[in-house]
Structure 1
Amino acid sequence: MNDVRQRYLTDAVQTAGPTRLLTMLYDRLLVDLDRAEASLQVGDRGAASQCLVHAQDIVGELMSSLDTDAWDGAEQLLSLYGFVLTELVEANVRADVEKVRACRALVAPLASAWHEAADQAPATPARGRSVPQFAAAGGADDGSGLLGVG
């Protein structure tokens, strides 16, 4: 059953257009932050760290894919991403649930705004695009992608 789910998720990511992929990244970032917060609240630093490292990977991808020449607010958004990335690293090092909450409070309105923009944008097919792959937390490459799928 897990293989079927994995295949579905992999296909969903690989066939998503750029706007849909962006909203999927934000959705997964929020999931990682929620999971990290919950893990820290029960004292599971290992699980929290995995979620926070994955969240850092997502923010890094958002930063690297942002075209700062595309619109006037892009530089400010890049600065915000940089701030969130720094806070996520500190939250991980210090096991600081308040920093995780603060990051979520910054990211959630952005996620909503991007979802709204995506709903208004015309659909763009995902032809010939590759999905970025990241190593799992701890340095092992388990083949899971940025969203935690193939």
Structure 2
Amino acid sequence: MSMMGGAQARRAQLNREAVLSATPVRLLTMLYDRLLLDLGRAEIAQNIEDWAVASENLLHAQAIVSELSTSLNVEAWEGGEGLFALYTYVSNALMSANIHRDVARTREAIALLEPLRQTWHEAAALLPAQSAARAGGEYGLA
């Protein structure tokens, strides 16, 4: 194994360990961070007409939105149905952004999701670790 391959393998192992040991709320913030990273990369790729890279990132973003949507317990809290509707809307926007190579739809998804990412990070920072695990379970993330 080359030096570069060893470093990549170690980084992948550390990422797996971080995910496996994370509380549900931390997992949620990690998903949002990756989702916005994918969307930012897709937007850049769309702007330079690198459609393969744009598509790869949009598809990964769609997978994350799907995971967020399916793990959401809409009955656990009052805003659950609204958040589910937002995830459905964003999922459709990302499909459209990919199919029609529409950077405006990618930007729209970023504009809708970035405030949520920030809010989840703020909420996670306010919760002690034990409460964070319980809160994540209440939102269908455990």
Structure 2-normalised TM-score?
0.85
Q: Does 1:112 align with 2:118?
A: yes
Alpha-carbon distance in 2 for matches of 1:86, 1:2: 33
Give identity over the alignment, percent: 48
Alpha-carbon distance in 1 for matches of 2:9, 2:66: 28
Alpha-carbon distance in 2 for matches of 1:74, 1:122: 23
Structure 2 counterpart of 1:85 = 91
* SS of structure 2 residue aligned to 1:70: coil
Root-mean-square deviation (CA), in Å? Answer: 1.3
Structure 2 counterpart of 1:58 = 64
Q: Does 1:69 align with 2:75?
A: yes
Gaps of 5+ in 1: 127-150
* Amino acid aligned to 2:49: G
Structure 2 counterpart of 1:31 = 37
Q: Deviations over 1:92-116 (max 9, x none)?
A: 0011111101100000000001111
Structure 1-normalised TM-score?
0.81
Structure 2 counterpart of 1:44 = 50
Gaps of 5+ in 2: 1-6, 134-142
Alpha-carbon distance in 2 for matches of 1:120, 1:96: 37
* Higher fraction of helix: 2
